[in-house]
Amino acid sequence: MLNELLLITPPFTQLNTPYPATAYLKGFLNTKGISSHQMDLGIEVILELFSKRNLIKIFDLAKENQTIQSENAKRIYALKEQYISKIEAVITFLQGKNQSLARSITAPDFLPQASRFDQLEDLDWAFGNMGLQDKAKHLATLFLEDLSDFIIECIDENFGFSRYAERLGMSANSFDELHQSLTSQPTFIDELTLQILEGKLKSIKPKLVCFSVPFPGNLYSAFRCAQWIKAHDSSIKIAMGGGFPNTELRSVTDVRVFEYFDFITLDDGELPIELLVQQLGKGIDQAELKRTLHLKDGEVFYNNLSAKPDYKQTQVGTPDYSDLLLDKYISVIEIANPMHSLWSDGRWNKLTMAHGCYWGKCTFCDISLDYIKLYEPIAAKVLVDRMEALVEQTGDRGFHFVDEAAPPALMRELALEILRRDLVVTWWTNIRFEKSFTYDLCQLLKASGCVAVSGGLEVASDRLLKLIDKGVTVEQVAKVTRNFTESGIMVHSYLMYGYPTQTVQETIDSLEMVRQMFEQGILQSGFWHQFALTAHSPVGMAPAEYGVAPILEPISFANNDIQFTDETGIDHNQFSFGLKKSLFNYMHGICFDYDLQEWFDFKIPRTTVDPDYILDCLENEAYQEPSSTSKVIWLGQDPIIEESKKNKTKLNFYQNSGSIQITLETEKLKWLLEFLQQAKPTSKSVLTFNAVKKSFEEQFEDFELFWYSKPINKLSEAGLLIL
């Protein structure tokens, strides 16, 4: 048995919160009594890089190497004393400490300003009357981005806050370029990374180091760190897992990769790592491992010999964030996109409601891979147990559920369980805009602490949504986003252009659909991305069926993103700028009256979408009778009896803001009060619509007349939900 594992997220992912993979794995290892230590090398490097002593080194190195060429770099260098003197105070402020500094940061001339501040007037418009703290965060973020620009120009062209040398990992069918870059001298940032790694190795003394590599932008640093470990202590074994190898390295054949890593594990990491721990002391050639690539007889061998089944999600334990520097993460506000702000501002505990995707059909998605294909939900009680454990451990009450698409039924049960326990949390997740998200369900989610959802509208065209097999229509998406918005939950939509067979007309019509949805106020945030062909998606596995021809290259390293030609011959890249510029304006509630041609510098066709299409969708609302098994939930407060006279009683239901009054026949008062108590989330049994009807009819007549009366309709405004 190994004495210690070291779990590492290499630079760089997020600045505001740790990527959760190592915390998930450490939580599992705890259940097996396997000792481990984790670190987010990215945040540690960022904090070291943006310190006084290293800024001094950066400025000196830039001058020594004569790399200060642009006017922007010259300006930053000329103001170097200002940057050096302010850097540590700014970092501390972004860590949530010394909040009084906001007044200084927002004052004129406190921070040195380079090119990132050039659009400040536009940014004031874009962000509106943001609060003092948020404005200061944004200005501090611009300050760091100016320094980042200087580092990229003068020190290391591959630097980026949330990625490093990303191009070396993207679509790298051959290992040659990455291998070549690793033979060059370590960069300044490499040296900082390796110094921190060396200190951690000396204190932990691990026998196995596991790198979690979620994105292409983490790949180079993972290899550079593995290279250093091999050179300095060959007794340490090194493994790599995570999102990048899971999607890109499934068919790796280049043996040079294993000069750096002893093992590459695929898909869920719990069982593969447990078996590695058990087998390393016994001689790996005879080992029975799970989904693990390693060298055998001089060739890459896929070792999946173990018959042991993977662990169920209830068996993997609660994520463990210990060892991570939770109070050192920095909260930034980069751009005027509400969802991106949510993503990067503040620290979130990460959890998963369900392994895989309950829908699992979208043709652009990697639905053939286990992380999508194997769907396994977690019971709501177990989820809330984990939430309470993480609140206790981290002190943070914010949760980001990182599901591919959270199941509506499980979201409902999660919300009810949160309310039963009177747990105050804030949470958000990714969804599919399906019809299950009624107004009442959205109200329940809001009451439990849900503040935002993100989902894929993709190409806002019913023909293409059907081809994508999204299982939704534009009308359905409009109604669902309206339900969320009216409940006070922010909605972000992922938008796509360039899907196979998409015509220019469909691109313009899709933009018009999006314009109308923002104009109606049912979307608050969005992001356009161009379709990418991946090897493990239905389109990638049967491209001819979708009218695309892949440009295939010999593959010995990464295999996921595939270059292709579309039978339409359309250059979809040309739409990128116009789509994104129009969306930026729509997100700020302006330019809805612009002709769509205004966004493009080339001729486009006029839209064929009716100008009131989305409005008509929203007004076309058919009433749905509750089913007998529908749950009846009361989220409101106990009423105050204002007065009783004749056969009528007046009740006042106080809300956090305002109140609602109803007048009820006095003979029904006792029944109503008992019914509301039974319908509370804290009630021991679930109240169904059929049970409500039966209870009423045991004492009174004409249930339908009572249920659809004005007093009960008003109760729905006070918190009476049908789910």
Cβ-based burial of 619 (10 A; exposed 0-12, middle 13-18, buried ≥19)? exposed
Query: Do 104 and 171 lie in a common domain?
Result: no
Query: Do 188 and 234 lie in a common domain?
Result: yes
Looking up tokens 């062909």 gives 533
Query: Do 359 and 489 lie in a common domain?
Result: yes
Is position 475 within any domain? yes
Is position 159 within any domain? no
Give the CATH number of the domain where residue 560 resides.
Answer: 3.20.20.70
Give the CATH number of the domain where residue 17 resides.
Answer: 3.40.50.2300
Tell me how far apart the terminal alpha carbons of the chain are, to the nearest angstrom.
51
Q: Output the pLDDT for position 64.
A: 95
Segment among 14-18, 24-28, 62-66, 389-393 with least mean pLDDT? 14-18
Which among 129, 154, 179 is the end of a domain? 154
What is the tens place of the pLDDT at every residue in 236-291?
Answer: 999 999 999 999 999 999 999 999 999 999 999 999 999 999 988 777 667 899 99
- Structure-token pair, residue 348: 């979130």
- Structure-token pair, residue 162: 């949330």
β-strand pairing of 354-355 with 292-296: unpaired
Is position 372 within any domain? yes
Q: Output the pLDDT for position 646.
A: 77
Region of residue 458 (left: phi > 0; alpha: psi -120 to 50; beta: else): left
- Cβ-proximal residues to 556 (8 Å cutoff; 6+ apart), any chain: 173, 174, 175, 252, 253, 254
Query: Do 396 and 282 lie in a common domain?
Result: no
What is the tens place of the pLDDT at every residue in 94-109?
Answer: 999 989 999 999 998 9
More confident of the two residues 556 and 417: 417
Q: Output the pLDDT for position 129.
A: 56
Is position 708 within any domain? yes
Which among 154, 185, 218 is the end of a domain? 154
Is position 617 within any domain? no
Which among 154, 182, 211 is the end of a domain? 154
Q: Output the pLDDT for position 556.
A: 85
Q: What average pLDDT score do residues 364-389 get? A: 94
Query: Do 307 and 272 lie in a common domain?
Result: yes
Query: Do 148 and 168 lie in a common domain?
Result: no
Query: Do 124 and 196 lie in a common domain?
Result: no
Is position 515 within any domain? no
Is position 578 within any domain? no
Query: Do 88 and 28 lie in a common domain?
Result: no
Query: Do 168 and 150 lie in a common domain?
Result: no
Q: Output the pLDDT for position 562.
A: 85
Query: Do 19 and 85 lie in a common domain?
Result: no
Query: Do 170 and 113 lie in a common domain?
Result: no
CA angle 511, 515, 520 (to 5 degrees): 150
C-alpha dihedral sign at 421, 425, 431, 433 = positive
Q: Which of 584, 443, 606, 605 is nearest to 525 (CA)?
A: 584
Average pLDDT, the chain: 92
Can you give the residue range of the structural domain that contains 100?
68-154
Query: Do 36 and 92 lie in a common domain?
Result: no
The yes-or-no verdict on residue 423 having pLDDT over 70 is yes
Per-position b or e across 74-85, b if 16+ CB within 10 A of its CB = ebbbebbebbbe
Q: What is the DSSP string of 109-144?
A: TSS---GGGTTHHHHHHHH-S--HHHHHHHHHHHHH
β-strand pairing of 349-351 with 354-355: unpaired
Is position 624 within any domain? no
Looking up tokens 């002391």 gives 281
SS3 604: coil
The yes-or-no verdict on residue 342 having pLDDT over 80 is no
- Cβ-proximal residues to 676 (8 Å cutoff; 6+ apart), any chain: 634, 636, 638, 639
Q: Output the pLDDT for position 166.
A: 62
| Tally of CA atoms within 13 A in the half-sphere of 348 that contains its CB | 21
β-strand pairing of 292-296 with 263-265: antiparallel
Domain count, the chain: 4
- Cβ-proximal residues to 223 (8 Å cutoff; 6+ apart), any chain: 178, 182, 260
What is the tens place of the pLDDT at every residue in 670-698?
Answer: 999 999 999 999 988 889 999 999 999 99
Q: What is the DSSP string of 478-538?
A: HHHHHHHHHTT-EEEEEEEE--TT--HHHHHHHHHHHHHHHHTT---EEEEEE--EETTSH
Share of the chain above pLDDT 70, in %: 96
Q: Residue 134's pLDDT band (boundaries 50, 70, 90)?
A: confident
The yes-or-no verdict on residue 169 having pLDDT over 70 is no
Contact 418, 384 (CB under 8 A): yes
What is the tens place of the pLDDT at every residue in 52-84?
Answer: 999 999 999 999 999 999 999 999 999 999 999
CA distance readout (Å), 261 to 156, 257, 415, 506, 525: 25, 7, 43, 47, 41
Q: Residue 3's pLDDT band (boundaries 50, 70, 90)?
A: low
The three state secondary structure string of 3-45 is CCEEEEECCCCCCCCCCCHHHHHHHHHHHCCCCEEEEEHHHHH
Q: What is the pTM of this model?
A: 0.92
Q: Output the pLDDT for position 1.
A: 42
What is the tens place of the pLDDT at every residue in 541-565?
Answer: 999 999 999 988 888 888 888 888 8
